[in-house]
Structure 1
Amino acid sequence: MIQNEVVRVTATTTPINVGDSMLRDETVRTGAGSAARFVMADSTNLSLGPGATLKLDRTVFNDEHSYRDVAIRMTTGAFRFVTGHSEKTAYKITTPLATIGVRGTTLDILSQRGRSVVVLQDGAASVCTTSLQCVQLTQPGDTAVIVSAGGRVSITKTNTPPWTFAANCAASAGLCSVNQYAGASPTITPAVQDDGMLCGQ
């Protein structure tokens, strides 16, 4: 799923098209009026709202359809993350302020300057600051809010989310539907060196 401007960030920015592969150490950015959804080789679905920047830091395959280790850095913007077939301990998601441990999950993640918001939609997650203050999200709606102010980082837990990814889902048809990697594009056979691909309708 791609809408408007979605680019790879390298020395030069290159447009990404539906069905393109996304590789490790690659940064992807959506434009102001854009959105995208990536389906990773283990069928993890990552939806990006407008003005979002994401980097796939590290992926280590177990086999063709699962990862032993996958690290995703969500630098800025709004995201929805739906785990795929890999062991839940394989996933490591970071924002500039938080590290998120996944327990089999659908998470909405907002990364802004000085603030990260993590909303549990399904499953469970552990959210920690860089100084290892942690909260456990166990019920749908559980939310961790991490704020950096005056050199101090604090984390609070609430069950009334100040934000969710739902508005982005409503604005872009297909952005939040979940695909299996094999069904994402009939023209591509997963190659082990590819870590994911941009998903089309």
Structure 2
Amino acid sequence: MNLRRRTCVAALSAAALLGVAGPARADNRIGEAVLVQKDVLRIAGASTSPINVGDGVVRNETVRTGTDSAARLVMIDSTNLSLGANASLTLDRTVFNDETSYRDIAIRLGTGAFRFVTGHSEKTAYKINTPLATIGVRGTILDIRSRRGETMVVLQEGASRVCTLTFQCLELTQPGDTAIITATGQGRSAIRKTSNPSWSFAATCTSTSGLCTVTDLASSAPPQDFTGILCGR
């Protein structure tokens, strides 16, 4: 029996002996909402419910903001995700490395404007996807706008590799470097780079107090039950 298997068995046995229980989806909690302005919803299957400050966010659910609304989510590893109005994202996949970092985290951005600030996980753990692009990060602050037929990625800090779905890639290495991916029809897209972006998330930050503040959740979050996640559930 390998070490990972022994660890999982031991953890599950201890949980059983101690009678560990809780909400059905407690082991899926991967962060929380720290700022909510107006209408912010969680969508899980056919179920829709409002998100309030302090509510947990979980895997495989979509977070959506309404008109004149905004939200900021902070993951367990202190990744900060800010959403502008009429934006949606889905937390596709998370595999924990330990209580404050991920081995793998995938975030799918639907439509809208976002700011992404990496947390304490290894940078290779992060995978950001839009309908037109895949985005890799290296200690990064990114502004991302996803709308029908176009994705724009603006580097604010760090570095990023942006690729089309057909693996045409650009490296963003200087603040202001911007990748613009546009759909060209028949499942194809084009990518270009500029250092003079026509948009950034800055105006959205200014319009909503605290939206672009960075919260270090990992240093203050209470201990979580990661048994299921570490064991592959």
Q: TM-score, length-normalised on structure 2?
A: 0.79
**1:59-74 superposed matches below 5 A:** 59-74=94-109
* 1:32 Cα deviation from its structure 2 partner: 1.0
Counterpart in 2 of 1:2?
Answer: 36
SS of residue matched to 1:124: strand
Gaps of 5+ in 1: 196-201
Equivalent-residue separation in structure 2 for 1:158 and 1:190 (angstroms): 44
Contact in 2 for aligned 1:182/1:190 (Cα 8 Å): no
Matched, 1:114 2:154: no
Equivalent-residue separation in structure 2 for 1:118 and 1:79 (angstroms): 10
SS of residue matched to 1:104: strand
> Is the deviation greater in 44-53 or in 3-12?
3-12
RMSD over aligned CA atoms reads 1.6
Relative CO higher for 1 or 2, CA cutoff 8 Å, sep ≥ 6? 1
Counterpart code for 1:37: R
Matched, 1:101 2:136: yes
Equivalent-residue separation in structure 2 for 1:182 and 1:115 (angstroms): 34
Q: Would the alpha carbon gap of residues 12 and 93 (structure 1) be closer, same or farther in structure 2, given more than 3 Å must change?
A: same
SS of residue matched to 2:124: helix
Q: Which of 190, 193, 210 is 1:157 aligned to?
A: 193
- Which one has a bigger Cα radius of gyration? 2
**1:11-160 superposed matches below 5 A:** 11-151=46-186, 152-160=188-196
Matched, 1:173 2:206: no
Counterpart code for 1:157: K
Identity within the alignment, % = 64
Q: Could you list the structure 1 runs, at least 4 aligned residues long, displaced by more than 6 angstroms after superposition.
A: none
Counterpart code for 2:194: T
SS of residue matched to 1:72: strand
Report the count of equivalent residues.
Answer: 192
Q: Deviations over 1:111-136 (max 9, x none)?
A: 00000000000000000000000000
Contact in 1 for aligned 2:183/2:189 (Cα 8 Å): yes
Equivalent-residue separation in structure 1 for 2:138 and 2:195 (angstroms): 18
Matched, 1:191 2:227: no
Equivalent-residue separation in structure 1 for 2:70 and 2:224 (angstroms): 25
SS of residue matched to 1:168: helix
SS of residue matched to 1:89: helix
Q: Would the alpha carbon gap of residues 77 and 192 (structure 1) be closer, same or farther in structure 2, given more than 3 Å must change?
A: farther
Contact in 1 for aligned 2:77/2:218 (Cα 8 Å): no
Contact in 2 for aligned 1:105/1:124 (Cα 8 Å): yes
* 1:191 Cα deviation from its structure 2 partner: 2.0
Contact in 2 for aligned 1:41/1:190 (Cα 8 Å): no
